[in-house]
Structure 1
Amino acid sequence: MAKASGGSRGAFPELVELNVGGQVYVTRRSTLLSVPDSLLGRMFGQQEPAELSTDSKGRFFLDRDGFLFRYILDYLRDGKLVLPDYFRERAGLRREAEFFELRELARRLAPIVSKENSVGDEHDPDEGALLVAATTSGLSEPRSPSQKCGYITIGYRGSYTIGRDIQTDAKFRRVARITVCGKTSLAKEVFGDTLNESRDPDRPPERYTSRYYLKYNFLEQAFDRLAEAGFRMLACNSTGTCAYTSSDPNEDKIWSSYTEYVFCRE
């Protein structure tokens, strides 16, 4: 592979090496030329690379945000804006798009003013289509402005017995309790009168509690409530212990498990 070099006066190589703020990228020259009237299109549309800055290894150097340049490069490849969930660098990426004179990309990233004069982010058309499909199919509902973001952790403790005959089905015992941990106001909003507050009755709305529990033992019912309130599961963790019903090791074994599910509403 021919390496671009600051001392070279020949034509650009087909594969171009870039050093963007310390991050190294390798791409085709045709990708950089995909938007001809952009800054990159003009830089690499020249006949020779003589005027471009290079680093000590001969890679073309751009003193910009190396992390965000990956999204610039992805956009140049296929003309689509694809961002990860909960992307926090939208304003920074717009700044980079403006610097590289990618006007259409900057337009997609620009904040928009709604009819209520509230400022929000413009979504990519593909993202909007997914949101509409999810809403119409009943998979999710947009969060109301009055609903607060936050976390709720559901704790689930249960046990089951495995007999001496390993072919025997496990006997599940009653779930002891489903606990709710999080901000009091969120817990009351989601679970309402199904939330047992007797263990922590004087907790102010904006304080956190780990002492509430539900008045029912159906985990799916708790999940349904959270989903209807706009929460989604982020993580779960489970632990288990084993004990014997008596001192005789040939007797049935009782397995106890405790699982926590973390939910979030952005």
Structure 2
Amino acid sequence: MALSESSSGIPAHELPFPEIVELNVGGQVYITRYSTLISIPDSLLGEMFTRKSAEGLAHDTKGRFFVDRDGFLFRYILDYMRDQQLVLPDHFPERGRLKREAEFFNLPELVKMLAPKISRQNSLGDEGCQSDPEESSPTTDASHSLATLGAAAAACARLAQEVGSRDGGDGRRSGFITIGYRGSHTLGRDSHTDAKFRRVARIMVCGKALLAKEVFGDTLNESRDPDRPPERYTSRYYLKFTFLEQAFDKLANAGFSMVACNSTGTCAFAHEQTDDKIWTSYTEYVFYRE
């Protein structure tokens, strides 16, 4: 027997939107239930999808609803709207940006969850450092507040020192980036001058996603691994250009130095009637920043 009403309590024939909604958020496609989008009525999504008509909402070329925001961070926004709980990966590095997204989508409770806090045990929590006396409990006396602020300041200083020693004195993250390429060239018996030398089809990038994006920016193609978290490693990125020296310049400008390289090669005859040989090789360059 078919249901006459949707999960949102509205008769199905009166819904201006489908029960299953496709969203394009910053190039990332999400598919969710209509009831999830309107679960928080005062939110931006709740206001968008409780109107009487879908007219006026932006659409992409495939007819999906389009929202021009961070597509990677939207997964946490959507996850929060399902059950109003916040679950983040360990050592999540983009709390500030996620808080800004929560403010845009008008989710005040999520904004509070992402705000820095000080635990009652006078120790710094995972959320970061905060030293605003107005945030303290009304029952806390002045001496206890000063002790709390002092402990928080010391914890912040220790945290800053640890980050500085780990990421370098200038605050940059340390780590390795490896770039590799497969090249080929044809060489005749007499080493003709018209031989094609080091024909590079694609320059691949391996390393931590956050470092790769920092170094190469918009020239990094992430299409083969678009959902990689910033702190995770990947070997599926590649560059939009094919000039090794351009990649070297970007790495050098970001403070990286080459620490190792290796190469392997094979050859085969180009044609049975000639002595021309086609050489193919795979080369890797390992860069490190302290």
TM-score (norm: length of structure 2): 0.41
Q: Which structure has the larger Rg?
A: 1
**Bigger RCO (CA 8 Å, 6+ sep):** 1
The structure with the largest helix share of the pair is 2
Q: Which structure has more strand as a fraction of its residues?
A: 1
